[in-house]
Amino acid sequence: MGEQIFIVAQSVLLGGILLLFLPIRRQSRFVTTRLLKATPQQVWDMLVDFPEFGPDTLPRHPVFPETLISYRKVQDDPVIFEAVSDASKGQRTALITIRSRVLARGAPWHVTGNYEEINGKPFPLGEDAFAEYQFEAVPESTRASHILNIRTQHLFHSLAARRSLAVTLDRAKDYFENGKATRKPASLLTCCSASGTTA
């Protein structure tokens, strides 16, 4: 009886893992909203218009994960930014390079961009994929919305993308309330790995 229960439990676990990675490609839209104790300009400067930095810049950006080791503009027209993340726990032997194009910067506090290339692979999240920030002033706070529209590869990719959005805004909320982002950052590497773009 004990062996039967063990076999059934293993089968259920294996089935759950297979379901997470079952290749089901679909267009997915995720929206996360948080109230941040800051002005829209402060939120904009933290999440959108922050200074460029390189691998030797310290301290790191206070909200984004420490695995993000550089962020710089590489083209002016159209505006393209390049972000580099380290998937090798500081060894810098497994780097993920993401190039994003700014599609629109609206006034006030609205920006939209897309993912042009990840590790040399063009439009890995779909040609019509985009990420968007919208900030709205409310009494004593800013309503910050992060929208992500991408082609997900399977359930795990979808879950990773949703968590990444939520944790980024949660860390920003921590920072503006406590002066420090205390929550564990979501890994952009996890989302990219789930999409099959890290090879």
* pLDDT score for 19: 36
* pLDDT score for 90: 67
> Which tokens hold the place of 125?
């999240």
Q: Could you say which DSSP state residue 158 is in?
A: H
Q: Under CATH, domain 35-195 is a member of which superfamily? A: START domain (3.30.530.20)
Length of the chain: 199
State how far the Cα of 122 lies from the Cα of 115, in Å rounded to an integer: 8
pLDDT in tens, 174-192: 999 998 888 776 655 444 4
Q: Report the predicted TM-score, pTM, of the whole model to 2 decimal places.
A: 0.76
From 197, 196, 166, select the one nearest 184 (Cα to Cα).
166
State how far the Cα of 165 lies from the Cα of 145, in Å rounded to an integer: 10
Ranges of each domain in the chain: 35-195
Task: Check pLDDT > 60 for residue 13.
Answer: no
